[in-house]
C-alpha cells in the first residue's frame, strides 16, 4: 500500500500551511515526519487523513485518487498526542467503535478487539473506562483502536509526547512490531531526532511547511543535503560557523584553522558554512588532527553519563557533548576540540557540498 502526495498544498484563510509537497510513503517500514513544533507535521497528516481540504494538488492511496474522498471513506486511523478515547465507553467499546460504525458482525468484532487488546496488554482492562487507566494505558487503548480497525493508513501524531520517560521508551520499542506485517502505511510525526533514528525506516525532514529531505533515516542522518535539514536532525542543535577556505587551509572567523582533507579538499576557494554535531566537539582531543577551539562556557548540563557545555565561539553559540564528567567553569574560557573530519560543509545558499 502507498500514500502519495502530488504537489499538495494547504491554505487556511490565505495563509499557506503546507507549500507544494510531493511524497511517496510506503508500507513495510515507519515513515517518520521529523520537524520542530509548527513545521507542518500535523498539517501534513491532516491533509493525508482528509481532515483538512487541499488547496491544490492531489492525495492518492493505493493508486486511487482520494483527494475528494471523506475521512471516513479513506479508511485510516489517527493516534494523537492527547489520549483521545470516548470517555463514556469502556475500553472494549472504544476499541470496537470504528468496527461497529462499519457494521461488522458481533462475533468478528469480539475477535478483533480481543486480538488488539492482547497485543497491547489491555485484556484485564477491557471493562474499565479510559479515565480509570494510566496515561500509558489510555494511549495503548487508542493504539488498539487503530490496530483493530485494520485501516490502510495509520497516522501517529507524536503519540508518545505526553507519556513519561519510562513508558515512552517501552512503547517506542513495541511500536514497530505492533504494525509490522499489517500492511498499513505507518506515518509517525515527531519533533525528536532520536525517535526518528530509533524507529528507523524512512524520514521526511520538515521545516516551515516544506519537506526539505526524504529518504532512508540513516542516510539522511549521515548526509543531510542542506543546512536546514542538518539543523532539524540534530539534538542538541548542530553547531554552525562561517568558514573560509583557501588552498587546503580552512579558517573560521575566530581564527582557528586546519588543513582540510577528503572531499572537502576539492572545494573551490571561498566562504562556506561549517556544521558539526555536538558529539564531535569534545573537551579532550581524541586524535592529533583535532582542531582546537576556545570559548567562554555559558551553560553546562550533566545528563547521566554525558555532559554538555554551551560555549561562545565568536558570534555563534556552540555545544559540546562528551562522555564522562568534565570540570567546566561557567563564565570561564575553556578549550574544546573539533573532529574536523566529521564536519559538513554547506555552500552560502545552504546546500551540502562536502
Which residues lie near another protein (CB under 8 A)? 46, 49, 51, 71-72, 76-78, 80, 82, 84, 86-89, 97-98, 101-102
Rounded least distance, CB 43 to another protein, Å: 13
Q: How many CB atoms lie within 10 A of CB 150?
A: 16
Rounded least distance, CB 53 to another protein, Å: 13
Nearest CA to 165 out of 36, 32, 303, 306 is that of: 303
Rounded least distance, CB 14 to another protein, Å: 15
DSSP H or E segment with residue 183: none
Rounded least distance, CB 116 to another protein, Å: 15
Q: At what angle do helices 106-119 and 91-101 cross, to 10 degrees?
A: 130
User: Which of residues 142 and 293 has its CB atom nearest to another protein in the complex?
Assistant: 142
How many degrees, rounded to 5, is the angle at CA 324 between CA 322 and CA 326? Answer: 80
User: Which of residues 86 and 118 has its CB atom nearest to another protein in the complex?
Assistant: 86
User: Which of residues 88 and 121 has its CB atom nearest to another protein in the complex?
Assistant: 88
Q: At what angle do helices 91-101 and 135-149 cross, to 10 degrees?
A: 20
User: Which of residues 103 and 255 has its CB atom nearest to another protein in the complex?
Assistant: 103
Rounded least distance, CB 96 to another protein, Å: 10
Say if CB 9 and CB 18 are below 8 A apart.
Answer: yes
User: Which of residues 74 and 245 has its CB atom nearest to another protein in the complex?
Assistant: 74
Q: How many CB atoms lie within 10 A of CB 3?
A: 24
Query: CA–CA separation, 98 vs 113, rounded Å?
Result: 11
Amino acid at each position: 500500500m502507498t500514500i502519495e502526495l502530488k504537489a499538495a498544498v494547504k491554505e487556511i484563510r490565505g495563509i499557506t500551511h503546507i507549500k507544494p509537497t510531493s511524497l511517496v510513503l510506503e508500507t513495510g517500514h515507519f515513515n517518520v515526519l521529523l520537524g520542530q513544533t509548527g513545521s507542518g507535521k500535523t498539517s501534513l497528516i491532516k491533509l493525508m487523513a482528509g481532515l483538512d481540504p487541499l488547496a491544490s494538488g492531489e492525495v492518492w492511496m493505493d493508486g486511487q485518487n482520494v483527494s475528494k474522498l471523506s475521512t471516513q471513506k479513506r479508511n485510516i486511523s489517527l493516534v494523537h498526542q492527547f489520549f483521545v478515547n470516548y470517555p463514556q465507553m469502556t475500553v472494549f467499546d472504544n476499541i470496537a467503535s470504528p468496527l461497529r460504525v462499519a457494521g461488522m458482525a458481533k462475533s468478528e468484532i469480539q475477535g478483533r478487539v480481543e486480538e488488539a487488546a492482547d497485543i497491547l496488554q489491555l485484556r484485564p482492562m477491557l471493562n474499565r473506562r479510559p479515565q480509570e487507566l494510566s496515561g500509558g494505558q489510555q494511549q495503548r487503548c487508542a493504539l488498539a483502536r487503530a490496530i483493530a480497525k485494520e485501516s490502510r493508513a495509520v497516522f501517529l501524531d507524536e503519540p508518545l509526547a505526553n507519556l513519561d520517560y519510562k513508558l515512552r521508551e517501552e512503547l517506542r520499542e513495541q511500536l514497530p512490531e505492533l504494525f509490522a506485517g499489517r500492511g498499513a502505511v505507518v506515518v509517525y510525526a515527531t519533533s525528536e531526532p532520536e525517535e526518528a533514528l530509533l524507529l528507523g525506516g524512512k524520514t521526511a525532514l520538515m521545516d516551515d511547511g516544506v519537506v526539505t529531505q526524504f529518504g532512508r533515516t540513516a542516510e539522511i542522518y549521515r548526509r543531510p543535503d542542506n543546512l536546514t535539514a542538518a539543523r532539524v536532525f540534530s539534538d542538541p542543535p548542530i553547531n554552525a560557523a562561517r568558514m573560509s577556505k583557501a588552498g587546503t587551509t580552512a579558517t573560521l572567523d575566530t581564527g582557528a584553522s586546519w588543513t582540510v582533507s577528503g572531499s572537502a579538499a576539492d572545494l573551490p576557494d571561498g566562504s562556506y558554512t561549517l556544521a558539526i554535531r555536538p558529539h564531535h566537539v569534545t573537551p579532550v582531543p581524541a586524535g592529533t588532527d583535532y582542531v582546537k577551539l576556545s570559548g567562554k562556557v555559558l551553560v553546562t548540563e550533566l545528563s547521566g553519563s554525558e555532559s554538555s557545555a554551551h560555549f561562545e565561539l565568536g558570534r555563534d553559540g556552540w555545544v559540546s557533548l562528551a562522555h564522562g564528567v568534565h570540570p567546566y567553569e561557567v563564565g570561564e574560557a575553556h578549550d574544546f576540540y573539533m573532529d574536523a573530519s566529521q564536519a559538513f560543509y554547506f555552500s552560502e545558499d545552504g546546500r551540502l557540498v562536502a
